[in-house]
Amino acid sequence: MRLVILDRDGVINEDSDDFIKSPDEFVPLPGSLNAIARLKQAGFTVAVATNQSGLARGLFDQNTLEAMHRKLQDLLAERSAHIDGIFHCPHGPDQGCDCRKPKPGLLKQISARFSLPLAGVPVIGDSLRDLEAARAVGARPMLVRSGKGQRTLARGEGLEGVPVFDDLAAAVESLLKETADVGQDQKKPE
């Protein structure tokens, strides 16, 4: 089983400094749903790891978050695709949990759920905390410029060795090409 872990806001859907608080505000980024569909068609397990402190802040409730995720799954179903697991941290930044990225708790939950080690697993995000969480579990951080990605790049910290892509579609294209290249290398006679 091949696993890819995606951040949500800024990678799959539009992000907002005022939070995404309703299904109406959950607007997929151009190409992101097709990119997820391509991953599924190529046999990947796709998980989402997302900080959702809007829950702790009282900006929306669990039912609203689930409605946003139903919308995402419904839109993917139109493309014969789905996300295999959506993992979220409901805590605020000062609650001291181990699941709020950059801490690795969400990624560890994903590892346990799918019984997979995370060494080398691509983690695609738009912020430094996504990259740091990936590194903490030996996964492979990848940055997109969408969402907060441009701000992350402008800060310039913690980016050593991290490939940067315009958006999720470009990151997925690279992963699929890499997978195809590995497959070709394995077929070559010695």
Report the alpha-carbon distance of residue 50 to residue 7 in Å, rounded: 5
Report the alpha-carbon distance of residue 164 to residue 145 in Å, rounded: 7
163 has which bridge partners?
Answer: none
Q: Which amino acid is at 86?
A: I
Q: Token pair of 70, please?
A: 């139903």
Kindly provide the residue ranges of all beta strands, DSSP E only, lying in the chain, ordered along the sequence.
2-6, 44-51, 85-89, 122-125, 140-144, 164-165
Catalytic residue selected from 7, 15, 126, 167: 7
9 is catalytic: yes
Q: Token pair of 160, please?
A: 């050593």
24 is catalytic: no
Active site residues: 7, 9
